[in-house]
Amino acid sequence: MRAHSFRSVITLGLGLLLSIPRAASGQLHERDRGSRAGYLALNVAIGATASVARAVVSGAPLCSTVAKGMLGGSMMGAGMQLIGTESPAARFAGLQLTAVGASVTRNADRGAPVFSDLTLAVYPFYVRVQPGAPRPVTARLSALSTIRLVSVLAGSARPDVDWGSTLTTGAPVLRSARWRLASGCGSCEGSFAEHNAGVIVYSASAGTDYDLRRTLAHESLHLAQQTRDAVLHAVSASDAALVRLGTPGRALSRFVVVDVMLPLRFIDEGELRMRGAPRRQSWYETEARAFAPGGELR
């Protein structure tokens, strides 16, 4: 990569981090600005680290690959910051910007244009966009999201689909009839809302115990974290694993992504267990709170 091209990529990445509308700044007053800046930098570091690993394996030029990885990391951080404005109209855009950033980082070692192969998340589907290809847009089911959605809808609680929030979020958003959702902690009252595998469920106490708009922004941050990990790792890992199964596997890979390889999630879980800390102190929770602290009414 020529020197001016390298500088252009870095400048574009920094510009993305600064391009969130200033009108949203008033909505960010409760967040620790230092923590938010730290997690923006962490996303850039994730992009750079993932691209270095790919460059080492593939033998691609290190400087250009790292520059693309940093650009992708900047876009992932900008997507999360966009969700953190807490505007319902920004949730879908922020999720897709995170997915595009993860796609750019994943493709950093390929020598192709940075936006030539994108994976977007419209759960329970992954949408692949390849401009100029014979089939420029294809869609495949997320195995984890599909299983989770079916299990929740078929469960005893039988939540209703909040279609408006589903469309503005980019994932199924369900309203439970329960005042609080079940918690894995026996002494806890239960949660207001939760995200799991591309599905968000919120409780019936919206407006009484918590602000729904702010809470959905927080859960959408978890959705973006899931998407970051899936696009960076799970989609390509699923394709590679299914190809090894021969013709049946290749046929299945046309319709389904077995998105179980989520190393960032594994790191989050492992680190939490090693410390013996409560869930609220996990990396994923602190990152989500840095951008969107949640909507509990005090």
Q: Stretch 141-153: mean pLDDT, rounded?
A: 95
Q: Stretch 43-68: mean pLDDT, rounded?
A: 86
Percentage of the chain lying above the pLDDT 70 cut: 85
> Which three-class secondary structure string do you get for the chain?
CCHHHHHHHHHHHHHHHHCCCHHHHHHHCCCCHHHHHHHHHHHHHHHHHHHHHHHHHHCCCHHHHHHHHHHHHHHHHHHHHHHCCCCHHHHHHHHHHHHHHHHHHHCCCCCCCCCCCEEEEECCEEEEECCCCCCCEEEEEEHHHHHHHHHHHHCCCCCEECHHHHHHHCCCEEECCCCCECCCCCCCCCECEEEECCEEEECCCECCCECHHHHHHHHHHHHHHHHHHHHHHHHHHHHHHHHCCCHHHHHHHCCEECCCCCHHHHHHHHHHHHHCCCHHHCHHHHHHHHHCCCCECC
Backbone dihedral region for residue 5 (phi beyond 0: left; psi -120 to 50: alpha; all else: beta): alpha
Give backbone dihedrals phi and psi of 30, rounded to 5 degrees, phi first: -85, -15
pLDDT at position 189: 56
Give Cβ neighbours of residue 49 (< 8 Å, ≥ 6 apart).
69
pTM, whole model, 2 decimals?
Answer: 0.85
C-alpha 138/C-alpha 155 separation (Å) is 31
pLDDT at position 152: 92
Residue 176's Cβ-count burial label (10 Å; 0-12, 13-18, 19+) is buried
C-alpha 295/C-alpha 185 separation (Å) is 21
Could you give the C-alpha distances from 189 to 141, 156, 211, 281, in angstroms and in order?
Answer: 34, 19, 18, 18
Q: Hey, which residues does 64 pair with through a beta bridge?
A: none
Per residue in 58-102, pLDDT tens?
787 888 888 899 999 999 999 999 999 999 989 999 999 999 999
Is residue 23 scored above 60 in pLDDT?
Answer: no
C-alpha 252/C-alpha 167 separation (Å) is 28
Is residue 8 scored above 90 in pLDDT?
Answer: no
Is residue 115 scored above 60 in pLDDT?
Answer: yes
Could you give the C-alpha distances from 195 to 81, 119, 143, 217, 276, in angstroms and in order?
Answer: 18, 21, 16, 11, 22
Per residue in 167-190, pLDDT tens?
999 999 999 888 878 765 444 456
- The dihedral over CA atoms of 256, 150, 259, 110, expressed in degrees to the nearest 10, equals 50
pLDDT at position 2: 43
Domain boundaries, the chain: 3-142+214-291
Give backbone dihedrals phi and psi of 126, rounded to 5 degrees, phi first: -105, 125
Q: Share the mean pLDDT of the chain.
A: 84
Residue type, 161: V
